[in-house]
Amino acid sequence: MSVTKLGKFAVIGLSAAWLAGCSTTASDSDTSAMQTEGAETSSTDSTYAAGEDGSLNSVIVDDQAAAQTSADLLAGVATVFYFDFDKSVVRPEAREALAKHAQFLMENPSARIVLEGHADERGTREYNMALGERRAKAIMRYLTIQGVPAAQIETVSFGEEVPVAFGHDNSSWQLNRRVEVRYE
């Protein structure tokens, strides 16, 4: 075998190994296997405590009620965050709502969000795609600083492709410069 053919095989083999090693997304079978390994499928969980006289008491905790109270945490919380022209800095007025999203995500480790970045129509498509991504990553950075694991967050940019306002004025452009939080 010649040296050039050997080199080509080495490049192809290393490329295939690199691609196989870069996958970080869990498949459905991975998550279902994790859920069935020693996990209870009951909707309630028992907690035991010792009484003053040393007797053992049990308390039934309803998981559905706990999930309801954590879902109430997000009632009325903003899911759209706006940005200034050509900026990807989180505005101060968004911080309180983002803190509530962070608290919810930390209390619910199985919850996942997608941060969808958008831009107005000004600028090239490529620039607006990059700007939408920077905006989504700015929100992601803010949430991770609050303690949310990065594995719970996905970012995507739509650039100028999905406007909510179709006008060609400042008020329409302001509405289109945004990041939307979508729970999965």
Identify the H or E element spanning 57: strand 56-62
The answer to whether the CB of 163 falls within 8 A of the CB of 116 is: no
Topology at the third CATH level for domain 69-183: 60s Ribosomal Protein L30; Chain: A; (3.30.1330)
Domain ranges, ordered by start, for the chain: 69-183
**Residues 6 or more apart whose Cβ sits within 8 Å of residue 149:** 109
pTM of the predicted model as reported, rounded to 2 decimal places: 0.63
25-29, 98-102, 163-167: segment of lowest average pLDDT: 25-29
- Cα separations (Å) of 14 from 1, 3, 10, 25, 183? 19, 16, 6, 21, 37
Distance CA 141, CA 148 (A): 9
Q: What's the pLDDT tens digit per position in 71-100?
A: 677 889 999 999 999 999 999 999 999 999
